[in-house]
């Protein structure tokens, strides 16, 4: 449940970031065009990358949220084979996001946020791997191993959540520094 709250909070903060980047870039670029046209082009492209990264991140979180709802519902209904497929889709979506994150060059102010986000995704991916393995063990009747493996997945989620908390805090700091 805590994870869903963080996902929703992070999506809304990233959305604010996306809006903030778009608005502040226009103001910043207007003042720089008169003094240094080559600098404004560079700032604009970095600002655009910030906004594109924020939008991509927000879209990915919507996908992740949908994935987690699907496999959580399957687990609630004891439909373990559907849950395994759902967890695998979630892992693939996270893997895609981990690869895509390197396609964006963000401003130095957001680099630590982007780095934390990638660490969170990696921990989330590893947790999903443990959960998938745990559910697979559960379907084969190996309850002891399933419990141990699921516990490792839960520990991975704790690590991922700490990184997501850091991302949320960094986005808040960024937004506070860029109120427009």
Task: Report pTM.
Answer: 0.75
The string of pLDDT tens digits covering residues 42-70 is 445 567 888 899 999 999 999 999 999 99
Nearest to 14, CA basis, from 110, 119, 127, 121? 110
């Amino acid at each position: 449940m805590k994870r869903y709250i963080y996902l929703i909070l992070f999506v809304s903060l990233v959305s604010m970031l996306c809006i903030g980047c778009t608005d502040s870039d226009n103001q910043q670029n207007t003042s720089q065009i008169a003094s240094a046209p080559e600098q404004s082009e560079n700032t604009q492209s970095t600002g655009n990358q910030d906004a594109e990264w924020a939008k991509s991140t927000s879209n990915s979180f919507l996908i992740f949220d949908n994935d987690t709802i699907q496999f959580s519902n399957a687990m609630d209904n004891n439909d373990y084979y559907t849950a395994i497929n759902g967890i695998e889709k979630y892992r693939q979506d996270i893997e895609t996001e981990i690869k895509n994150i390197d396609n964006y060059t963000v401003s130095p102010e957001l680099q630590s946020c982007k780095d934390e986000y990638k660490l969170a995704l990696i921990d989330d991916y590893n947790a999903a791997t443990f959960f998938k393995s745990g559910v697979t063990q559960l379907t084969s009747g190996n309850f002891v191993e399933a419990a141990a493996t699921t516990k490792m997945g839960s520990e991975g989620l704790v690590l991922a959540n700490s990184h997501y908390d850091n991302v949320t805090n960094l986005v808040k700091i960024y937004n506070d520094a860029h109120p427009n």
